[in-house]
Amino acid sequence: MTPLFVAEALLIALGSGFLGALLGLGGGVIMVPLLVFALGLPIHIAAGASIVAVVATSSASASVYVRDEITNMRLGMFLELATTLGAVTGAGLMAGASEAILKTVFGATLLYASGVMWHQMRSTGRSWVPMPNDHFAEKLGLGGSYYDAARGETISYGVSRSLPTFAISYIAGVVSGLLGIGGGGIKVPAMNAVSSVPMKAAVATSNFMIGVTAAASALVYIRNGFCDGFVTAPVVLGTLIGSLIGARVALRVRGVMLKRVFIVVLLALGLRMILSGVGLV
């Protein structure tokens, strides 16, 4: 392990931790290809380092988002029930599923989600459409509010269509279990575009949830092949720093800007997933 390697790993981790925290993605989908192509790491070592790094992104950014009251903890814990159940189902299905088909479908879903979000933003000019709580969300008290530092005002919002979002979160969990990813690319659009949660709250709440889904997979990885620890440590440290910065930046950026960046990144991730699914990457 040369100093140059450590420096490169740290830099890649800083970048994906930053983007992951900023966009609620966890960052694994960004990190793995970079570690494989830029550092020449074998895919299983990259994936192992990345799954631990996803836990780092989630916990570090959530410590900032929760403290600053951006995270909707009730909504997060409600949807966590769906994602963890889904992840266990997904891990159980592992043997029967074709990874190629799964990746292609997942990629197409991301493209569709970015299209819906883009259309919504274009037609309303906002990062979210205010809606009241639905019946179920009202009962559970899922709606929330936060102080938006970029706008200088407190934003209150309801959670509409909470059950469809719960169902989508379950599927996001299944996909996480099957592909070993955080699933933020599905959770954020579900909260924002389906349940009309403001972009910033959706990003913060997604980051809050991701760590729980990733923790079980990370534990299994660590236990099964630990010698990659010397690679994982600099990656995780870089991620911790990157995501602390990313969460602080997200607090100050406008929701519309956040959504624009999110749509572009989601588009890229969707395309990459499809290409990987059909065997081109």
Partner 1 sequence: MSVRRLELFVSMVLRGGVLVSGAFMVAGLALLWLTGDVSCPFGVLTLEWVIWGDPFLAPSHVLFLGFLILVATPVVRVAASVVAYISDGDWVFAAITGAVLLVLVAGMVMGLG
Which residues bind to partner 1, rule: CB under 8 A? 52, 55-56, 58-60, 62-64, 66-67, 69, 71, 73-74, 77-78, 80-81, 84-85, 87-88, 91-92, 140, 211-212, 214-220, 222-227, 229-230, 232-234, 236-237, 240
Closer to partner 1 at the Cβ: 37 or 226?
Answer: 226
CB 194 to partner 1: min, Å: 20
Structure tokens at 214: 């990733």
Q: Residue 85: is it exposed, middle or buried by C-beta count within 10 angstroms (0-12/13-18/19+)? A: middle
Of residues 88 and 267, the one with the C-beta less far from partner 1? 88
Instruction: Give the nearer residue to partner 1 in terms of CB position, either 58 or 127.
Output: 58
If the CB atoms of residues 2 and 123 are measured against partner 1, the closer one turns out to be 2
Nearest-approach distance from CB 21 to partner 1, in angstroms: 12
| Nearest approach, Cβ of residue 156 and partner 1 (Å) | 14
66 φ/ψ angles, rounded to the nearest 5 degrees: -70, -45
| Long-range residue pairs from 147-152, CB within 8 A, at least 24 positions apart, any chain | 147/68, 147/69, 148/198, 148/200, 148/255, 149/251, 149/252, 150/251, 150/252, 150/253, 150/254, 150/255, 151/254
Overall residue count recorded for the chain in this entry: 281
Which residue, 66 or 121, is less far from partner 1 as judged by CB? 66
CA distance 188 to 246: 16
Question: In the complex, what is the shortest distance from the CB of residue 178 to partner 1, in angstroms, rounded to a whole number?
Answer: 14
Quote the least distance from Cβ 64 to partner 1, whole Å.
8
Widest distance between CA atoms in the chain: 58
- Which is nearer to partner 1, 148 or 277 (by Cβ)? 148
User: Least distance (Å) from partner 1 to the CB of residue 172?
Assistant: 15
- Minimal CA–CA distance to 12: which of 44, 42, 46? 46
Taking the complex as a whole, the smallest distance from the CB of residue 78 to partner 1 amounts, in Å, to 6
In sequence order, what are the residues at sequence separation of 6 or more whose Cβ sits closer than 8 angstroms to the Cβ of residue 161? 134, 194, 195, 196
Between 29 and 236, name the residue whose CB sits nearer to partner 1. 236
Q: Where are the alpha helices (DSSP H) in the chain?
A: 3-23, 28-39, 43-67, 73-93, 99-124, 135-140, 162-179, 184-189, 199-224, 229-252, 255-277
Q: Which residues pair with 156 in a beta bridge?
A: 145
Rounded to the nearest whole angstrom, what is the least distance from the CB of residue 116 to partner 1 in the complex?
28
Cβ-based nearer residue to partner 1, 97 or 278: 97
